[in-house]
Amino acid sequence: MTDAPRDDELFDTFATLADTLVDDFDVVDLLQTLVESCVRMLEIAAAGILLLGDDGELEVVASSSEAARLVELMQLSAEAGPCIVSFTSGDLVSVPDISKAPAEWRRYRDSAIEQGFQSVYAIPLRLRETTIGALNLLGDEVGTLNARDVRIAKALADVATIGILHERALEESTVVREQLSQALQSRVVIEQAKGVLSHTHDISTDEAFAVLRSHARANRELLSEVARRVVSRELRI
């Protein structure tokens, strides 16, 4: 993507996110918009966001693809890989060549290579001293992002953090935990709704997720609420 189209994309993305944040919003849909924007603007193969759950574990809450293997790969990263290192250190982690990843990341490394990924960035979702998750960027070529792309990725990670903690003071730890818990619970319901639509319409999980989002946006409803109604059979789409 050349600089001019990417600048337009970046402007449109932040304008969309700003519009979202001034009104009631769906955290999962916000984060989904962010990971999809990362893939388009940074010309990477895949992206995902993981958040800290009530159980103290990092869980996938948004992914540029709903393919189970990609989601599982990102979960492996949260167990022993760049994501957990970024989360615990609060620093950006760059792995230009996954094949040279540390031995303790063996399961993550092997899964990533098998899926065609060759490089990865993990960027913490951090505000001051509080880290609530990480943004993962996966590339299908060996190498690093240029400095401008890294700045864009960090900016998008910051927007994700602000969105999650929107109008919440960090000191109100109970509220923050509830916000994160709600996002992760919403994801569970969305996964269930994807399964329902995938089965009833004989479509892929990616297509099922697109149907859910399209209906939610067309009817100005929260994605999580549409998913709940699909699962309870109150809504047929």
Report whether pLDDT(168) > 50: no
Considering the entire predicted model, what is its pTM? 0.70
Residue-wise pLDDT tens digits, 177-222:
666 777 888 888 999 999 999 999 999 999 999 999 999 999 989 9
pLDDT digit string (tens) for 45-77? 999 999 988 788 899 989 998 788 898 999 999
Nearest to 32, CA basis, from 18, 54, 49, 57: 49
pLDDT at 170: 42
pLDDT above 70 for 4: no
Are 6 and 38 in contact, with CB atoms under 8 Å apart?
no
Domains along the chain with CATH numbers:
3-170 (3.30.450.40)
| pLDDT range class, residue 128, cuts 50, 70, 90 | confident
DSSP alpha helix (H) spans, 54-172: 68-80, 82-89, 106-114, 147-164
User: In this predicted structure, what is the pLDDT of residue 44?
Assistant: 94
Closest to 138 measured CA to CA, from 43, 47, 61: 47
Higher per-residue confidence, 149 vs 168: 149
Query: Within 10 A of 56 (CB to CB), how many other CB atoms are there?
Result: 6
Spatial distance between the Cα atoms of 51 and 124, rounded to a whole number of angstroms: 10
Question: Residue 171: is its pLDDT beyond 60?
Answer: no
pLDDT tens profile 98-125: 999 999 999 999 999 999 999 999 999 9
Give the chain's mean pLDDT: 86
